[in-house]
Amino acid sequence: MFPKVVQVVPMRNYSVYVYFENGKIVCYDMLPMIEKEVFRPLKDISIFTDTCTVLNDTLAWDIQGNRDSTSCLDIDPDTLYELPYMEEQIA
């Protein structure tokens, strides 16, 4: 099975709630990745929240705003799916 992300909700603490098509919800903590060179633009919380989206069926940041899946920053959906189930914390 290939996990398919259908929705993401970025939070102001650099975490993202990730919703999969089978109903699984995980919370991905992006804070440890922010210091890595490739993800450094996401240190700006506005960029982190405003460009967070679903591209290629996974969590991604469309930094350039052109919906080009080859130039986005993304996280492997298998990595996300391996995270533990979360209870939805968002109303």
DSSP sequence for 22-87: TS-EEEEE-GGGTTSGGGGGGGSHHHHHHSEEEETTEEEE-TTSS--TTSSEE--HHHHHTSPP--
CATH number of 5-81: 3.30.2020
Q: pLDDT (tens digit, 0 to 9) for every residue of the chain, 91 residues total?
A: 689 999 999 999 999 999 999 999 999 999 999 999 999 999 999 999 999 999 999 999 999 999 988 889 999 999 999 988 877 665 5
Could you tell me which residues are beta bridge partners of residue 53?
A: 60
pTM summary value: 0.89
Residues 6+ apart with CB under 8 A from 59: 5, 8, 16, 18, 28, 52, 74, 75, 77, 80
Residue 10 is predicted with a pLDDT of 97
